[in-house]
């Protein structure tokens, strides 16, 4: 039986985060077998303090599964997508698991406990493609946050009805290709496709607060086909685990 942490039930973290600085520390690293069991990581989030939900992409190879930090090469409750779907971002929202698909613009819905398939939802027409997915609780209501490869973050209600779209600027420049997302302690963290950094974003103001450069980590991964893509926040430790597409490891970091 897999149990979930309260942080994944739409409850905000009780810790207050200082303004992000862009500095960080490397902590623990766990190596994965990306030769025999490669995962083209597209979505990455914690179910509980020990277990991560991961969405994998590529046509004919997409799927979703859990894995435990104590045995990262054992995929639990793996569900493969039909060959016509390209898996993208994922999240756990109100006891259901949601997984975006890319050009197909479908949202797959699963049972949280065992990832049994429930059904699918059409992405809102204003959202170009399915890229990154996370959520936050705002004034007691759950808001779903989606990126679509542009500089916009789309905010939806629990019925996936669009509330508004916010363009994110780095100083005065639109941050195109926003990808994998994670919302933690009032801050939105985002990968930018093909880049080596993670943005810390004030979503309501639509501006980047800090940029964390992981160029060295990308070089160590040594995967020309696998950019930085995967941000999972551990509510208990207040640290992040990050990874990339087909990377041979996942890396715990403290973001300052």
Helix and strand tally (H, E) in the chain? 1, 22
Q: Is residue 8 part of a domain?
A: no
Contacts of 185 (CB under 8 A, 6+ apart): 12, 13, 15, 16, 17
CATH number at residue 121: 2.120.10.30
DSSP state letter for 221: H
Contacts of 13 (CB under 8 A, 6+ apart): 7, 184, 185, 235, 238
The tens digit of pLDDT for each residue in 92-128 reads 999 999 999 999 999 999 999 999 999 999 999 999 9
Q: Is residue 4 part of a domain?
A: no
pTM over 0.85: yes
Q: Rounded mean pLDDT of the chain?
A: 93
Supply 64's token pair: 């979703």
d(CA 56, CA 2): 20
pLDDT score, position 6: 40
Q: Which of 186, 219, 180, 185 is nearest to 198 (CA)?
A: 180
pLDDT score, position 182: 98
Q: Is residue 6 part of a domain?
A: no
Q: Is residue 9 part of a domain?
A: no
d(CA 189, CA 168): 12
d(CA 86, CA 127): 16
Supply 56's token pair: 């994998």
Contacts of 71 (CB under 8 A, 6+ apart): none
Residue span of the structural domain in which 250 resides:
24-255
Q: How many domains does the chain have?
A: 1
Q: Is residue 57 part of a domain?
A: yes
Q: Is residue 58 part of a domain?
A: yes
* Residue in this structure with the two tokens 């890396």, named with its chain if needed: 251
């Amino acid at each position: 039986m897999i149990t979930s942490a309260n942080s994944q039930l739409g409850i905000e973290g009780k810790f207050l985060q200082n303004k992000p600085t862009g500095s960080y520390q490397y902590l623990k690293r766990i190596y994965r077998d990306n030769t025999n069991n490669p995962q083209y990581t597209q979505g990455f989030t914690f179910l509980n303090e020990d277990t991560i939900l991961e969405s994998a992409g590529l046509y004919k190879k997409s799927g979703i599964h859990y894995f435990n930090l104590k045995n990262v090469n054992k995929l639990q409750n793996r569900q493969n997508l039909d060959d016509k779907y390209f898996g993208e971002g994922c999240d756990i929202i109100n006891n259901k698991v949601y997984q975006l698909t890319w050009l197909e613009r479908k949202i797959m819905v699963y049972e949280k406990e065992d990832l049994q398939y429930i059904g699918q939802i059409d992405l809102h027409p204003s959202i170009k493609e399915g890229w990154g997915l996370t959520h936050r609780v705002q004034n007691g209501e759950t808001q779903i946050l989606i990126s679509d490869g542009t500089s916009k973050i789309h905010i939806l209600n629990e019925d996936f009805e669009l509330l508004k779209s916010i363009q994110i600027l780095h100083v005065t420049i639109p941050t195109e290709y926003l990808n994998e997302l994670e919302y933690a302690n009032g801050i939105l963290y985002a990968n930018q496709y093909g880049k080596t950094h993670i943005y810390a974003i004030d979503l309501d103001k639509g501006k980047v607060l800090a940029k964390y450069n992981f160029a060295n980590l990308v070089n160590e991964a040594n995967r020309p086909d696998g950019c930085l893509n995967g941000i999972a926040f551990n509510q208990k430790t207040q640290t992040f685990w990050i990874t990339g597409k087909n990377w041979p490891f996942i890396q715990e970091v403290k973001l300052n």
